[in-house]
Amino acid sequence: MSTKIKLGLFGFGCVGQGLYNVLNQTEGIKAEIIKICVKNGSKSRSLPDHYFTLDKNELLNNSEINVIVEMIDDPAAAFEIVKSALKSGKAVVSANKKMIADNFAELHSLQQEFNVPLLYEASACASIPIIRNLEEYYDNDLLGAVEGIFNGSTNYILTKIFKENLDFDTALRQAQDAGFAETDPTLDVQAFDPKYKLCIILAHTFGLFVNPEEIFNYGIQNLSTFDINYAKEKGYKIKLVAFCRRLEDKIIAGVLPRFVKPENKLSAIENEYNGILVESAFTEYQFFAGKGAGSNPTGSAVLSDISALTYNYKYEYKKYNRNKLEISNDFQIEVYVRYSTRKSIDLSLFSNIKETYTNADSGYIVGSISFGELRNSSWINRSDVNVIVSAENKFVLNNKTGTTVAELHGELA
Amino acid sequence: MSTKIKLGLFGFGCVGQGLYNVLNQTEGIKAEIIKICVKNGSKSRSLPDHYFTLDKNELLNNSEINVIVEMIDDPAAAFEIVKSALKSGKAVVSANKKMIADNFAELHSLQQEFNVPLLYEASACASIPIIRNLEEYYDNDLLGAVEGIFNGSTNYILTKIFKENLDFDTALRQAQDAGFAETDPTLDVQAFDPKYKLCIILAHTFGLFVNPEEIFNYGIQNLSTFDINYAKEKGYKIKLVAFCRRLEDKIIAGVLPRFVKPENKLSAIENEYNGILVESAFTEYQFFAGKGAGSNPTGSAVLSDISALTYNYKYEYKKYNRNKLEISNDFQIEVYVRYSTRKSIDLSLFSNIKETYTNADSGYIVGSISFGELRNSSWINRSDVNVIVSAENKFVLNNKTGTTVAELHGELA
């Protein structure tokens, strides 16, 4: 982009303010805010009135504005804005993970058709430059897996639980009070937010545009004191881990809580920080960590995208269709399943049961099960059941195990 | 680079073989090895004879070759090769940290003058994409500090010492046997290798081309069992830490061993891994970790540079001359100094002494001293003296403290 960056901002909430702060203190980047479209005209603002408008067309039809920065909450409205902007040749920077994950294929086509970049580094793990690294540095086809803590809100809650011996409800309330969890925490706690991020990372890791509904997400809402004590007795923490991994020509992916040993790099990622492990054929692993939320880290990632536009940077999606990979749920995963009534769990689904425990109120099993069958089971959504992936978990394609340890079920039936 | 990449390789040792392995298994990158210049014609090779030559001009004058990959040991010979290649319009990829650090300003000029890229991601921390990230993602002027473990060889030795209770000499021998330390380990053990890497990182963090001789490096060669026990009693590890940090308009930089607490992210970086902390105004910190040595990680970084050349990537050195920053040794640093005879240490150099200890054979002090005066002191190079930076260290410009706690010296004189 040879001309100076002239910004049209949609939204001036937490991220917008963060961007304004960061932009204001960064001499190196020549970008100017021209206009800001907001939903509520009566709020008092930190900038003069003439910057603000309620009419999106004042930005979209303004030929002076060459970059639209979309930072609003509503994914459907955001998508309309982004589409209009791309179609009119304006570059777009967005932090809206749900909007991107839900419309990835179409957004990809629009970028190609109108030859205009859409950048969204801030949409996944805020300040960690993971998309840029997957896209640029790991641009060949040797990536084996990307997994990590993609949600700062639940990580803050889990840190509170383990560091301060709180139960889930108390930790959630404290996270809300500290501004690290939303009033309606569903998207975070039920692992939708990290799933959207995982979809974005899937595109840049394996070249797959996956509908978020295809990906199994299971949150921490059913975490009980029993589960927490189980983890502590073993010296584990519990982290909400998003993963995607290549097994032969299949890609497996999901977001579930996981027991994590102290030597796992993710164990040290606390509070609102995110951490990402990247496995590749030749480097073994790489680890990235940084703040996964907050106005300034997110604003800083948005600014980094704006800066990249000054030298005509765009995602090339080089991995798209390079490999004929497809998502599969047809693999074995080892899980801990805690329940109040054993008969509510269909044990015949398990190919292998390693441990079983029962007391007066509850019990658990540790065993291997097909990921697809776990997801589709009748009992997974019971409020008196909780599922956590084993610390020792090895992912194996179903057809590779060949073992159905049916006899083990005898003693449990 | 619109045409296909045709490679001329200088050197076919560990890194060259690694590159060949990686290139061979990576379908995504269309690059072909045309010719390899080696020093020794009689070695048996894993490739057919027609690839090899002893004459550098067979590569430099070959118009089919558009990218030179320089992977030889001799920095002076490497510099001549790189200069010739750049002048003839061939892009260059190099992993030679000393060659780059020693000739940075000239290499920068040549890139500008002949408008041809020189990439060297593999030269600093091998598989960790730190240069690309500093250059692209942290391209504005808000970086506060970069510090980390930049040398896999000494980190392997220090890991052995702390995990297996070995003394320095035994750990060094084991590292040599395992191929993680050179037969002549001077460059690693005396911290020259991480200093060259720090010089490269300084250019991409703060836009400074610094002569390596300006930077103080102090290695782990004097590490004694006394020092190791001191660290263990406090629950610390010792890591060889390279750092650069902005204090107002000054940049401070150096490589010294440091006591590291368990909660420091660098504490968990073991064996040949490297770890890098990046502090910036808006993201607090970012952490990168990965393999810092080895043929495949280094080959993989070289390949990533080759891949970047396919889309005309080059370093833009945007921070160069943006800020009028300069290197300064005029700051206070808190250090542990162990000695056999206290009178060999000039205590009057210390502005503050926090601790002192003496037994029959040796003693130590913990105190603050000007970095420049520490470097220039008469006793720093004594073999019976060892210096380790405090775990609690805060770097402060000299003129900011205003305290010379001369009275403390009374009791120590």
A217 touches chain B (CB under 8 A): no
The pLDDT, as a whole number, for residue A409 is 32
Mean pLDDT of A246-254: 93
Tell me if A381 is assigned to some domain.
Answer: yes
Nearest to B290 among A22, A132, A283 (CB): A283
d(CA A392, CA A192): 25
d(CA A377, CA A306): 45
Q: Inspect the interface and report whether the beta carbons of A299 and B282 lie closer than 8 Å.
A: yes
Residues A65 and A108 both lie in one domain: yes
Q: Inspect the interface and report whether the beta carbons of B25 and A127 lie closer than 8 Å.
A: no
Q: Of A269, A283, A284, A287, which to mutate for an interface test with B (greatest number of B Cβ within 10 Å)?
A: A283
> Band of the pLDDT at A284, cuts 50, 70, 90?
confident
Tell me if B246 is assigned to some domain.
Answer: no
Beta-bridged to residue A352, according to DSSP, are: A368
d(CA B36, CA B16): 9
The pLDDT, as a whole number, for residue A53 is 96
Tell me if B140 is assigned to some domain.
Answer: no
Tell me if B370 is assigned to some domain.
Answer: yes
Q: Inspect the interface and report whether the beta carbons of A289 and B265 lie closer than 8 Å.
A: yes
Using the predicted structure, report yes or no on whether residue A223 has a pLDDT greater than 90: yes
Per the structure, the count of domains in chain B is: 2
Beta-bridged to residue B246, according to DSSP, are: B251
Residues A103 and A139 both lie in one domain: no
Q: Inspect the interface and report whether the beta carbons of B129 and A137 lie closer than 8 Å.
A: yes
B297 touches chain A (CB under 8 A): yes
For A300, nearest residue in chain B (alpha carbons): B282
Residues A156 and A267 both lie in one domain: yes
Nearest to A283 among B133, B297, B319 (CB): B297
Q: Of B140, B142, B273, B304, which to mutate for an interface test with A (greatest number of A Cβ within 10 Å)?
A: B140
The pLDDT, as a whole number, for residue A1 is 53
Residues A65 and A201 both lie in one domain: no
CA distance B341 to chain A (A): 41
> Band of the pLDDT at A413, cuts 50, 70, 90?
very low
Last residue of a domain, one of B91, B123, B155: B123
The pLDDT, as a whole number, for residue A181 is 84
Residues in chain B with CB shorter than 8 Å from the CB of A21 are 282
Residues A140 and A71 both lie in one domain: no
d(CA B128, CA A193): 28
Q: How far apart are the first and last CA of chain A?
A: 67
Kindly report, residue by residue over A398-412, the tens digit of the pLDDT: 865 433 333 333 333
Q: Domain holding A139: CATH number?
A: 3.30.360.10
Residue whose token pair is 């975070």: A188
B310 touches chain A (CB under 8 A): no
Last residue of a domain, one of A327, A348, A375: A327
The pLDDT, as a whole number, for residue B371 is 97
Kindly report, residue by residue over B146-204, the tens digit of the pLDDT: 999 999 999 999 999 999 999 999 999 999 998 888 888 999 999 999 999 999 999 99
Q: Domain holding A358: CATH number?
A: 3.30.70
Tell me if B130 is assigned to some domain.
Answer: no
Q: Inspect the interface and report whether the beta carbons of B289 and A284 lie closer than 8 Å.
A: no
Residue pairs between chains A and B whose CB atoms are closer than 8 Å:
138
Residues A84 and A214 both lie in one domain: no
Residues A346 and A232 both lie in one domain: no
Provide the chain A residues 87-106 that lie in CB contact (below 8 A) with chain B: none
Tell me if B293 is assigned to some domain.
Answer: no
Helix ranges (DSSP H) in B115-248: 130-132, 152-164, 168-177, 186-189, 192-206, 225-234
Tell me if A306 is assigned to some domain.
Answer: no
Q: Inspect the interface and report whether the beta carbons of B280 and A265 lie closer than 8 Å.
A: no
For A29, nearest residue in chain B (alpha carbons): B140
d(CA A379, CA A369): 14
Residues A359 and A389 both lie in one domain: yes
Pair B394, B252: CB distance under 8 Å: no
Kindly report, residue by residue over A339-356, the tens digit of the pLDDT: 999 899 999 999 999 999
Tell me if B87 is assigned to some domain.
Answer: yes
Residues in chain A with CB shorter than 8 Å from the CB of B285 are 290
ipTM (interface predicted TM)? 0.85
Residues A153 and A268 both lie in one domain: yes
| Nearest of B31, B32, B90 to residue B63 by alpha carbon | B90
Per-residue pLDDT of chain B (413 residues; tens, 9 = 90+): 556 899 999 999 888 888 888 888 877 778 899 999 999 877 888 889 999 999 999 999 999 999 999 999 899 999 999 999 999 999 999 999 999 999 999 999 999 999 999 999 999 998 899 999 998 888 765 789 999 999 999 999 999 999 999 999 999 999 999 888 888 899 999 999 999 999 999 999 999 999 999 999 999 999 999 999 999 999 999 999 999 999 988 999 999 999 999 989 999 999 999 999 999 888 788 999 999 888 888 888 999 899 899 888 899 898 887 777 899 999 999 999 999 998 999 999 999 999 999 998 899 999 999 999 999 999 999 999 999 999 987 788 886 543 333 333 333 32
Q: Inspect the interface and report whether the beta carbons of B283 and A300 lie closer than 8 Å.
A: yes
The pLDDT, as a whole number, for residue A131 is 95
d(CA B69, CA A289): 32
Last residue of a domain, one of A306, A327, A348: A327
Residues A245 and A393 both lie in one domain: no
The pLDDT, as a whole number, for residue A41 is 76
> Rg of chain A's alpha carbons, rounded to an integer?
23
CA distance A109 to chain B (A): 21
d(CA B86, CA B99): 15
The pLDDT, as a whole number, for residue A127 is 86
Kindly report, residue by residue over A173-222, the tens digit of the pLDDT: 999 998 888 888 999 999 999 999 999 999 999 999 999 999 999 999 99
Q: Inspect the interface and report whether the beta carbons of A127 and B304 lie closer than 8 Å.
A: no
For A142, nearest residue in chain B (alpha carbons): B26
Helix (H) or strand (E) holding B353: strand B350-358
Q: Inspect the interface and report whether the beta carbons of A139 and B322 lie closer than 8 Å.
A: no
Residues A141 and A281 both lie in one domain: yes
Q: Which amino acid, residue B292?
A: G
- Helix B104-114, helix B75-87: angle, nearest 10: 20
Q: Domain holding B24: CATH number?
A: 3.40.50.720
d(CA A256, CA A241): 6
The pLDDT, as a whole number, for residue A408 is 32
Residues A284 and A366 both lie in one domain: no
Provide the chain A residues 253-292 that lie in CB contact (below 8 A) with chain B: 265, 268, 280-291
Helix (H) or strand (E) holding B105: helix B104-114
**Which residues of A21-142 form beta strands (DSSP E)?**
31-37, 52-53, 67-70, 91-94, 118-119
Domain that holds residue B104: 5-123
